[in-house]
Every structure is written in structure tokens, then in C-alpha cells.
Structure 1
Amino acid sequence: MKLPYFLLDVFTRDRLSGNPLAVVLKADELSSTRMQAIAAEFNLSETVFVLAPKVERNTATLRIFSPVNEMPFAGHPTVGAAVLLGLQNRLSAVRLELGVGNVTAVMEKMDKRTGEAKFALPRLPERTGELTDIAAVAARLGLSESDIGCDGMMPAQYSAGNAFYLVPLADAKALERIKLERRGWTDTFSGERNSVYVFAPTPKERGNDYAARMFHIAHGSGEDAATGSAAAALIGLLAEHGGYGDGHHGLKVRQGREMGRPSEIGVQFNIEGGVLKHAGIGGPAVILAEGIIDLGE
């Protein structure tokens, strides 16, 4: 069995920045066990497998795996796969079937190896947990309690398909000072998912509104360069407590700078009558490499 695959850098237009992604095509004959093994072999934050759609009018079914488990939704695999399939098939609308629901991504070609995709979230973000021990949160991040919180927002857990503990900081300089204390991590950030998305406003930076870092200690890989599903969850906190009124809001979130993998995620949301009614994310992706997986079968 030989399967074509592509490597892309997502949430960036520049190769060797953003968040790397492996996309494996024609994966219909692979078992879940094989997919998991291939994802572990690539050892990227996510690998996405492209299968034939269950509904004919759709473009593809996607299955998304981290090195250790399957995920119902993740932002950068959705964006990367949409750009790749859009470029390959000359599509401006890519209809994808995900574990969390169906997504229609609008894809704009930039050149033969680069595109930009954006899509409405199949599930609006919602608050899924509390995080009230500010001293413990600060200790896990190597910060002081005065660093935690900004613009009326305080830590809490939100999910738009994948749950994240969202930790607002007073300013972006605090992001640079983070020194993780792994002892006690799962006690402070408890539950099945203890991924932590730390963010801060960037009023003095041109071209973006927030800066963020994402840590997922349980997966062993530490920090992620660009996390679309975390930015999707962030929309929930911003809509409820960020001071955004009724209307349409489009924001930019930078991530990955501290890792040397700068990235930019676009988030959009509509508030009507004080209630979040629509949310979406998007960004660019560029094809870096391609090859063949030879399973010798």
C-alpha cells in the first residue's frame, strides 16, 4: 500500500514557520490503528487523513490525529487540508466532514502552492469549566498572580470541539516570561484535556490584536506553534467578557513567535443582543513538501 502525503505550514504564508501539518491522501483503506501509528511516525501536533466523503456533494471526510489520539476537530488541520484540496481540485469552497460536524471552508488561491481558507465553526464555543485558583495557575506558568487577568477576563475553560483552559494575561511581555512548572499541572488543569491557551492583548502591535501561547503537557510535545481550535475556544471568552458589543468583529491572534515559528490566526464573530451568534477562524497555508508512504502491503 502506497499513499501520497503532503507537508504544509499552516497559519503562515512563509515556509518553515507557522504550524507544520501532514496530510495523507487516499486513506480510506487504513484502519484507525494504522492512522494512529502514522501520526506517531510523523510526530507533528496533528496529522490529517483524507477519505472519500459520506455525502456525495461534499469534498472529503477528514480524520485528525495527534501523535497519541484522534481528535474530533482541530483548526490547523482543517485549514491546511482545505487549502491543499482547494489547490488540487481548483475549488473555492471545500466541503469537509469532521468528527465535530460538517465545515464549508472558503478557499482563496494565492499561488500554486499557497492559499488561504476560512470557515464557520460547526459548534459555537461554550464555557465548559471553571479555573478559580489563580495562585496555582500563576505557579504553573512561573508568573505572579498580578500577571493573571486582563480587561475583565479571568481564566476559565471553553470548548468549540476541543476544550482549552484559557488564561488571559495583563500584557504580552508576560508571555515571554512563562517558565512552566510541570509538577501539579494536572491538579491545576484537571480533566481529560489539560491544554492551556495563554493570551494577552497587543494594543501597541500593528497587525494583530492578541498574542498567545498554547501548552499541552499531557501530549508530551510541550508547546504548539498555532492552535486554531484554541483560538476558536477563545472566541467564547471574548464574546462573553471581552467587552465586545453587538456587531461583527474580526481579530488577529499571533502565536508561535517565542518558538521561532511565527503564525497568525484570524478569528471572526458576530454578537446579536449580547449573544454570540456566529464564529469562524481562518488563515493561510503553504505546501512545503510531498512524498509517498510505503507500507509494504
Structure 2
Amino acid sequence: MSIHPFLQINVFSTDPLLGNPLAVVLQADGLSEARMAAFARWTNLSETTFVSTPTDPRADYRVRIFTTLGELPFAGHPTLGSCHAWLANGGMPHGGEIVQECGIGLVRIRRDASGVAFEAPPLRREGPLEPALHARVRAGLGVAADDLMDAQWVDNGPPWLAVRLRSRAAVLAVRPDYVALEGLMVGVFAACDANDGVDAQFESRAFIAGEAAPEDPVTGSLNAGIARWLLREGSSPDRYVISQGTVLGRAGRVQVERVGETVWIGGACVTCIEGSVTL
């Protein structure tokens, strides 16, 4: 058994109860993969992270990201929450930006008065879905053909595919069949209009069939992939906000900004629980 600093962070909302919670174990060197996975199952959160000494000298720290089902090479709210926890525990970056080492390699992170933001990783897979998969996803979401505008791969580590719907109302109305979507990570999103009365330009939802909590409250990796899609096609401004978590009673806000060729995905982080954990 070993004792480690532990924090639970609320990500993508300034209200501690309206974002996406993340469990962070610091000084995790020496913990086995099996022990990490067991603790992630025990927390029963969408993700639990373990921060340790980097293996790459260019990185400030290394993070491993676990869901209740297994390890992810990258995820958005764990990246932001882990960085926030590392900084709160006295972490000092080598330079002006913070560099995180994770399963997809090195991820740049910046911080400012509004919170922290990561550089959206390149898409490992993009483009339209295969016809059979397209039909399966539409049926699994229960979406009318007239409401579905497009569907594309936005795989940036987690194998997300995203479905663009005609309206925010259509996004909020989705009631997925998780059996039909088994094995898939599916996001839905739509542009908001003035009649929606929300302080965001887009609304999104994220579904992970097989997870203990199959709808994720606020999802950085999905929205990073959607941002790559929208900005590539010129379907969004260089700076915008995505609302997520509405159906779950959350008020997540994901900040997207393109600076030159770099796309930044950010949001607020709040420490809710701080102490130690024995593993």
C-alpha cells in the first residue's frame, strides 16, 4: 500500500456541481496498471487519472487516463483536470506552456485567467462514415432522416464519430439505444440560434455505450474533434463556445479558439475534494 495526494476536479464549469468530475491521483510512480484500473472502477467516474514523472524529457509530467472499462490514450477533461491538479500541487512547467505526456504523445497546454486549454490533437481518422455504419448510428440514436445533416469520424485518440443534427432541439431530444450502439463512441451536435436562449454557439452530447454512465457530461476530446471538422469546413467562427450536459442537469461550457493553425480547447477547472488516497 502507498499514500498519494488526491484531488477531485470539476472541469468545464465554474460551478463545482455543474461540470464533469475527474479523480486525479498524483505522485503515481510505482502504481501498477492493474491497481490504476481497479481504482478507476472503484471511483465509478467517467475518468480517473494518474500523474507521474514523464519518460520524455520534453514533458512536464505524464498522465495515464482510465475509464471504468480500460485505459484511453487521450481525453479532454482528464487533460485539463490533471493539469489543474498538477499545478495546484506545486507543479512548475519547464517553459511558458505546459507539456503533458500521454498515450498519444505530447500535448501542449496553456493557462490564462479563464482556465486551462489543450492543443487539439490531429485527427487519426476523419471523413464520412461507411454507409452501413451510418445507418446503424442513425437507427441507434433514433434520429429522423430529416434531422441528420452529416456524420463523420473525428477520432483523435478516443475513436469518436460525430453526427451533426439540424437543431439544438433535435440534439436534446435524442434518446439512444445503447444496445444498438454497443462498442461505439458517438457524439451529436448542432448549431444554436437566437431562439435557443443559450450562451453558446453549439450544443453537443456524447454517448459511450457500455460505460457505467453512458452519457458523458462534458467531453473535451469529442468537442476537439468536432472543432477540427467545423473549422476545416469553415462552418464555425475561429472562436466559439459549445454547451454540453444540458439533459443531465449540467452546464458545461467548452471554449474553442483557433490561433493560426493551432486549435485550443479549454474551460474552467475547480478543485472540489483534496486530500490523500491509500492504494
TM-score by length of 2: 0.89
Are 1:232 and 2:224 counterparts?
yes
Match of 1:252 in 2: 241
Q: 1:242 to 1:166 in 2, by over 3 A?
A: farther
For 1:87 and 1:142, the matched residues in 2 are separated by 43
User: In the TM superposition, what are the counterparts of 1:261-276 in structure 2 within 5 Å?
Assistant: 261-269=250-258
For 2:70 and 2:252, the matched residues in 1 are separated by 24
Unaligned runs of 5+ in 1: 110-114, 187-192, 272-276
The one-letter code sitting in structure 1 at the alignment partner of 2:278 is D
Find the residue that maps to 1:86 and give its secondary structure.
helix
For 2:58 and 2:191, the matched residues in 1 are separated by 41
The one-letter code sitting in structure 1 at the alignment partner of 2:204 is A
RMSD: 2.2
Does the CA contact (< 8 Å) of 1:100 and 1:123 recur in 2? no
Correspondent of 2:168 among 172, 177, 193: 172
Match of 1:160 in 2: 156
Are 1:87 and 2:88 counterparts?
yes
For 1:162 and 1:90, the matched residues in 2 are separated by 27
The one-letter code sitting in structure 1 at the alignment partner of 2:253 is E
Q: Cα deviation per residue 1:220-279 (whole Å; 9 max; x = unaligned)?
A: 4210001101011112321344535xxx711211100110121011122367xxxxx432
Report how far residue 26 of structure 1 moved.
1.0
Does the CA contact (< 8 Å) of 2:26 and 2:86 recur in 1? no
User: In the TM superposition, what are the counterparts of 1:213-228 in structure 2 within 5 Å?
Assistant: 213-228=205-220
Match of 2:274 in 1: 290
Match of 2:104 in 1: 100
Report how far residue 54 of structure 1 moved.
2.2
Report how far residue 125 of structure 1 moved.
6.0
User: In the TM superposition, what are the counterparts of 1:43-192 in structure 2 within 5 Å?
Assistant: 43-56=44-57, 58-89=59-90, 91=92, 93-108=97-112, 116-124=115-123, 126-127=125-126, 130-132=129-131, 136-149=136-149, 154-186=150-182
Report how far residue 128 of structure 1 moved.
5.9
Find the residue that maps to 1:7 and give its secondary structure.
strand
Q: Which moved more, 1:217-226 or 1:81-90?
A: 81-90
For 1:198 and 1:4, the matched residues in 2 are separated by 36
For 1:294 and 1:87, the matched residues in 2 are separated by 20
Correspondent of 2:263 among 266, 269, 279: 279
Find the residue that maps to 1:89 and give its secondary structure.
coil
For 2:222 and 2:255, the matched residues in 1 are separated by 12
For 2:91 and 2:29, the matched residues in 1 are separated by 22
The one-letter code sitting in structure 1 at the alignment partner of 2:218 is A
Find the residue that maps to 2:74 and give its secondary structure.
coil
Correspondent of 1:201 among 191, 196, 199: 191
Identity %: 31
Does the CA contact (< 8 Å) of 1:125 and 1:236 recur in 2? no
Report how far residue 142 of structure 1 moved.
2.3
For 1:56 and 1:140, the matched residues in 2 are separated by 45
Does the CA contact (< 8 Å) of 2:49 and 2:66 recur in 1? yes
For 1:4 and 1:25, the matched residues in 2 are separated by 5
Q: How many residues end up aligned between the 2 structures? A: 272
For 2:250 and 2:168, the matched residues in 1 are separated by 17
For 2:40 and 2:69, the matched residues in 1 are separated by 8
Does the CA contact (< 8 Å) of 1:8 and 1:289 recur in 2? yes
